[in-house]
Amino acid sequence: MSDEALAPPKTPPAADATRETGAAPPAGEADRPSLGARNDRLLLAAVAAYVVLLSVLMIARGISVTPDVVLVALGLAALILGRGRLFLRDWIPFIALFFAYELMRGYADKFGASIHVTDIIDVERFLALGHLPTEVLQSWLHPASGTDPFAVAGVVFYFLHFPLPLAIGFLLWLHRRRFYYDYVAALIVLSMAGFVTFLLLPTAPPWWAQQHGYLPAGTILPLKDVGFQTLASAFGFNGSYLYSYTFYDINPNEVAAFPSLHAAYPFLAFLFARRAFGRSGWLMLLYSACVWFSVVYLGEHWVVDILGGLVYAGAAYWLVLHAPAWLRGVMDRAADRELEAGVEAEEGGERGALARLGRRVRWAAVVQGLAIFAAGAAGAALLARSGFAGGAASPLYLLPWLAILGGLWRAAVGLVSR
């Protein structure tokens, strides 16, 4: 008998991936077409540099980096790469859910639950051996006069709350599209879990506790304002950021400190980046640490909030990767690996791949979605201007926005149909 007959069977690549990650790779991942390792890295590096440059320019020009602006910028990149319609199909529902969460978060403090302040201060002092970490950091690092570079850097990291997680999502979408769907699911689970917590356990941040007299005067300095004004003076945008949408100012939630989503979002992005990109994904952990330091130093979050954010992110990651088989099947069908493989393999680009696969635009669904969107937008504008039932500050304001988001979703579904 030959040596080959006696040798153990070779382990397929999929089994190696299962052994290394502890979870089975997405269906068909082992046979997905590749651009080649070198070209793949160059493409991802170019997209990452594009997002960084965009964020720098927007911060310098006094434009708040919000999800809708990032969506347009990433959509342009997808169009250049020949994946415009696929981008709309995959991303509009995600952005719609993200907006829905942001809208709901602003109402979480309006349901009468008592705000937690003194108890969270006691826990913070217990963890830090009788001290407040924000007070300690500010006493060490904040200069008595002149520019505070830590406050300036902290404000920049604070403003990158939205674009960096979205940029990681875009890189996953280009590199491992099935991982992107897991990432979106985990991000939505994390956000909704945060919303429920804000609803049941509203928690004041350090600056709020200082402002409302729960801490002695001068304990916590408002360093976010200091860093912001320094940026405003340096770049000349008069200390006021331009928002592309206004519900941050219409309906803010000032007592949504625990868990810190500023801490949770980048950590979740790190977990998926490490899984998809290997060693280079660890760079997101360094970025995450910078965010954690910044929000504590600026007085925006307690250390307790950071720890809570990490727990929530880790739980969301685990729940999605270990979801029931039926739910994994739903995400597999939504990802539609046949569509992805066809777009990547087709020399004629996205248009040729969609034609070969028999995919088309279902115009009836697109028109229906746009009509629902227009009705929702008109209703939101009317409610805000009339002031009926409290106007934009009322939970009733969610109804036209649900129509806006539902219309966008319906239109996106019609873009690529069998």
Segment 195-202 mean pLDDT: 86
Measure the CA–CA gap between 89 and 413, rounded to whole angstroms: 6
**Residue 320 reports pLDDT greater than 90:** yes
Residues above pLDDT 90, as percent of the chain? 22
Higher pLDDT among residues 345 and 401, named by residue: 401
What pLDDT, on a 0 to 100 scale, did the predictor assign at position 196?
Answer: 86
What pLDDT, on a 0 to 100 scale, did the predictor assign at position 260?
Answer: 92
Domain ranges across the chain: 35-87+109-226+253-322
Segment 4-11 mean pLDDT: 43
Kindly report, residue by residue over 113-165, the tens digit of the pLDDT. 788 899 999 999 998 888 899 999 999 999 988 888 999 889 888 877 777 78
Please tell me which of 24-28, 56-60, 236-240, 351-355 the model is most confident about, judged by mean pLDDT. 56-60
Higher pLDDT among residues 130 and 409, named by residue: 130
Average pLDDT, the chain: 76
**Residue 268 reports pLDDT greater than 90:** yes
Which amino acid would we find at residue 273?
A: A
Please tell me which of 64-78, 155-169, 203-217, 347-361 the model is most confident about, judged by mean pLDDT. 203-217
Segment 254-259 mean pLDDT: 85
**Residue 89 reports pLDDT greater than 90:** no
Instruction: Name residue, tokens 């990490």.
Output: 310
Least confident segment among 15-29, 67-81, 127-141? 15-29
Kindly report, residue by residue over 47-61, the tens digit of the pLDDT. 777 777 766 766 666
What pLDDT, on a 0 to 100 scale, did the predictor assign at position 265?
Answer: 93
Q: Nearest 5 degrees, angle CA 122-CA 125-CA 126?
A: 85
Measure the CA–CA gap between 411 and 366, rounded to whole angstroms: 4
> How many other β-carbons are positioned within 10 Å of the β-carbon of residue 121?
18
Please tell me which of 22-31, 34-43, 71-80 the model is most confident about, judged by mean pLDDT. 71-80
Q: Are the C-beta atoms of 77 and 47 separated by less than 8 Å?
A: yes
Higher pLDDT among residues 388 and 121, named by residue: 121
